[in-house]
Structure 1
Amino acid sequence: MPSGKPSPSGRSAPSEAYDLAVIGAGPAGLAGAVAADEAGLSVALLDSAAHTGGQYFRHPDPALGATRPQALHHDWPAFARLRDRLADGGVTHLAGHHVWTVTREAENRWTVHALTGADGEADEPVTVRARAVLLATGAYERQLPFPGWTLPGVVGAGGAQAMLKSGLVLPGRRVVVAGSGPLLLAVATSLAAAGADVPAVVEASGYVGYARHPRALATNPHKLLEAATHGTALLRHRVPVHTRSTVTQVHGTDRVEAVTIARVDRHWRPLPGTGRRVACDALAVGHGLVPRIELATTLGCATRRTPDGTTALVLDGFQRTSVPGLWAAGETGGVGGWELARTEGELASLAVAARLGGRPPLTGGTRLRRLRRERARLRVFAEAMAAAHAPGRGWTRWLTDNTEVCRCEEVTAGRVREAVCDLGAHDARTVKLLTRAGMGWCQGRMCGAAVACLATEGTAEGTVPPSAERRPLAVPVPLGALGSLPTDTSVDQPNIESNTERPTAP
């Protein structure tokens, strides 16, 4: 595909570039691309997956012959309408494009670098040029390790849902769902409806924390309805929900055979004598989601710490990052669900259209004001949700010294503690240099939070997650792709140490 190819509608932007490049085709990116296209912009939508929908609206390959894929999803009709609008418009949808970096060449001149293929294995790198960029890169699951978590049969909670939605398969016949966050209820409901035996949902935090945020509940009654719907479904399938509890150990030889569930205190420290063994052949576990912001932090975007200890982008009232010309929407600004992501994607695109048209965003009229009100309402609930399910610092008590923390490099909790106590490491980066924890294929996405917490174990900073890594590459890239890049010394790369203040609202 030629760089900067105009959209199929025939509209072209200056210098053969798109007006807007949207990275990520989940709810935020899809809504943003559609809204920008309908506002008259030429749009390129890049995503690593073959289909739109992101992690939330995963759906089976047509070859599987699923007759009712919508039965596995909440709000499928709304997604279907967005997908139809995309098909009817002029957006250039670049599926199977793995974006590994974004560079700023000059004001209103961006280049998006991607690899193509199912796993980015194609030889020819692709570049897409645009006047503005919208980051809608979503999030990934946060995993906190425990003894036995590397056994076959232990999967992420979101991974279990993805297996069901896209592959129509279950991770096991008898599946315990554990961790923390509202995703657990949705996963357990889906698994039970698909025929799995779910002996328990194990929530480390509980739900009373929401009561501390009455405004968030009052302005989002549909969220309570969703929770009641899941609760009713679990009652119908006779699935018990254990709050203030956690899985402290997985038992088995070749795969999962049982788990130990224990009560925890408000700091997530296991209470002695409360452990009990539950037979199962699979465990779906996750402790919330982490915003995927590597592309943004490489460019120097300002970040903030969310109530549940993750790192998200600082955005103004129109979804602008601290780097001019770069917008973000959805989970990049803090995890909040698909409705918030859709709202922010549309809001960002209208702001981009106003900016490229030389107009203040506030001239967007009632539609833009409505989107801002909706975004504010949903964001309040997202912050309350994050606070209610924030991990307690006592979770490291689950770990024995021989528990693997970094699976890629086979680094145990004992080695991390040795680096801290005996070698003087005081942060995750130093631990990484001393033990190789986080240097593997996943680049710390699986172990980063655990390593950071262990590095500060026993201090007031014990809940601090890893700072957002400013890596120049967001995905693995062959050296040949790097060698083929032009050596243009005029390219303007933002200073990654700058832009630390909140963007100024108009």
Structure 2
Amino acid sequence: MSGAPARHVVVVGAGPAGLAAAHAAARAGARVTVLDSADVLGGQYWRHLPASRPAANERVLHHKWGTYRELARALHAHPAVTVVPSAQVWSLERLDDGVRLNVLVGEPDAAGREARAVEPDAVVLAPGAHDRTLPFPGWQLPGVYSAGAAQALAKGERVAVGRRVVVAGAGPFLLPVASSLLRTGAAVVGVHEASGLAPLARGWLDRPWELLGAAGKAGELAGYVRELVRHRVPWRPGEAVVAAHGDGQVEAVTIARLDARWAPVPGTERQVEADAVAVSHGFTPRLELAIAAGCALTPARFVVVDDSQATSVPGVWSAGELTGIGGADAALAEGAVAGTAAAGGDLGTARAARTARARNRSRGFAARIEAAHGIRGGWVRWLQDDTVVCRCEETTYGRLREVVDLTGSRETRSVKLTSRAGLGPCQARMCGRTLQELLDDGGSGVDRRPIVVPVRLGDLAALPAPSLDPSLPTTSLSAASQPQET
């Protein structure tokens, strides 16, 4: 006797949340397709060398490397799971009874990528997040990197971004970035955390009993501290890089002490020689697909989900950084819950209950990270009129102020159209939040782009007439995405 056909669940993203969601959905009996823009599994968290040139001991650069390998092997072995690498979901369309994902498969930015469309029974959005970097004078110089880019080069290519690197910004992510740089042979001059000791203590030590279930996090922190001590790398709270200097390349940075509002303290500036800077002031979730789907957002610009990770849009679930920056543990637990629910599985089992409890414990880290490391408004004091705010269009802080004075408008969309800030190739992905804060717009400038990522006009012109393409592969995981032996 044949039963009803298995639900088709599409997971967008192959980081911790996406892999956990795909594994849980398959275990619950669904047919699963994983779409990821990279050519290997792992996302940004488990970015690693390709199988064609594996590392002798990959695990030294990754926490929970065993978890990644278990998930990747399970997906590879499951006959109902298909992974489509180099698959960029470039738009999402809302339908009467679900959504359609439009996908281009092939090398990024290459001409003639294969166009596909899929209308699944359920979608789990797990695209992750990217660094948020606050602008400062000279941040457009070659040698200034986001901390995520510096770590990606270290993990994925074993390339150091410089010989003498300053790591700066805010958040616990600065520590693994410094560790990755040290392991590539770079000299880390210092790690500069913008939050001072008082907010760090308030954020992390409030209700300490809630941290009892996070012994693994404490172990990670201790490992990073030992590494910094062994390499004599100073960690300095309450400081920031407020300017970068150089003739065509970073040659030095200015570091200043900050007050409680992150405003530079006059007279504390000092210059440090460096040929590279890795900067991160937290993360911004990749909201484009969620916004295209019409998902409700919180005031802090995260996707609203219920206890099953379901969004406000029927048939769409979300997990990982889209719902809050809580780290890999939270992403793994949220992914497992979302995958089970999207597949129509039972969330009342003992296993599901354990996963939900782990998720709830991990979610507390998101609130602690924000309390301890969240951006304070005084950082604007380190800007100058000629400081570039939008690097794509080279729009300066002075130009933004001029536009506001001339037009009398602080509405983000209006100022963008007049100043061209945010209208360049990245489409405000790097500067959008900064623009809103500088304009004190309150979030009204959320863009609902029909095209999620830049797409060649030739690819758009070559698209077939709108119709469902049922030919998404149903074969097993590609060789490029298989877990490595180490």
The two structures share one fold, judged by TM-score above 0.5: yes
Which residue of the other structure, out of 406, 422, 432, is the alignment partner of 1:422? 406
Which residue of the other structure, out of 351, 358, 364, is the alignment partner of 1:367? 351
SS in 1 for 2:130: strand
The residue type paired with residue 88 of structure 1 is: A
The residue type paired with residue 469 of structure 1 is: D
Question: Is 2:458 the partner of 1:476?
Answer: no
The match for 1:44 is 33
The residue type paired with residue 291 of structure 2 is: T
Question: Is 2:72 the partner of 1:83?
Answer: yes
Given that 1:205 and 1:388 are in contact with CA atoms closer than 8 Å, whether structure 2 keeps it comes out as yes
Given that 2:165 and 2:187 are in contact with CA atoms closer than 8 Å, whether structure 1 keeps it comes out as yes
SS in 2 for 1:405: strand
CA distance in 1, matches of 2:456, 2:118: 19
SS in 1 for 2:354: helix
Q: 1:186 to 1:465 in 2, by over 3 A?
A: farther
**Greater shift in the superposed pair: 223-232 or 373-382:** 223-232
The match for 2:416 is 432
The match for 2:96 is 106
- Number of aligned residues: 459
Matches within 5 A, 1:66-77: 66-77=55-66
Which residue of the other structure, out of 430, 435, 444, is the alignment partner of 1:446? 430
SS in 2 for 1:304: coil
Which residue of the other structure, out of 379, 393, 399, is the alignment partner of 2:363? 379
CA distance in 2, matches of 1:403, 1:115: 37
Report how far residue 178 of structure 1 moved.
0.3
TM-score by length of 1: 0.87
Question: Is 2:399 the partner of 1:399?
Answer: no
Runs of 4+ in structure 1 over 6 Å off:
none
CA distance in 2, matches of 1:82, 1:344: 15
Q: Deviations for 1:463-492, whole angstroms, at most 9, x for unmatched residues?
A: x5675422111111234544535458xxxx
Report how far residue 35 of structure 1 moved.
1.5
CA distance in 2, matches of 1:220, 1:398: 36
CA distance in 2, matches of 1:293, 1:188: 28
Which residue of the other structure, out of 184, 201, 205, is the alignment partner of 1:211? 205
CA distance in 1, matches of 2:61, 2:351: 31
TM-score by length of 2: 0.90
CA distance in 2, matches of 1:386, 1:34: 30
SS in 2 for 1:256: coil
Segments of structure 2 that go 5 or more residues without pairing to the other structure are 468-486
RMSD: 2.0
Q: 1:70 to 1:235 in 2, by over 3 A?
A: same
The match for 1:58 is 47
The match for 1:269 is 263
Q: 1:280 to 1:120 in 2, by over 3 A?
A: closer
Q: 1:30 to 1:190 in 2, by over 3 A?
A: same
Q: 1:213 to 1:455 in 2, by over 3 A?
A: farther
The match for 2:470 is none
Report how far residue 426 of structure 1 moved.
1.2
Given that 2:137 and 2:383 are in contact with CA atoms closer than 8 Å, whether structure 1 keeps it comes out as yes
Q: Deviations for 1:99-155, whole angstroms, at most 9, x for unmatched residues?
A: 012223332x43211112221533431112211111011001101100010111111
Identical aligned residues as a percent: 47
The residue type paired with residue 230 of structure 1 is: Y
CA distance in 2, matches of 1:268, 1:237: 28
Which residue of the other structure, out of 232, 237, 246, is the alignment partner of 1:243? 237
Segments of structure 1 that go 5 or more residues without pairing to the other structure are 1-10, 356-360, 489-506
Report how far residue 336 of structure 1 moved.
1.1
Q: Deviations for 1:417-460, whole angstroms, at most 9, x for unmatched residues?
A: 1112232121322211111111111110111122112212xxxx
The match for 2:24 is 35
CA distance in 2, matches of 1:118, 1:104: 27
Report how far residue 268 of structure 1 moved.
0.5
The match for 1:411 is 395
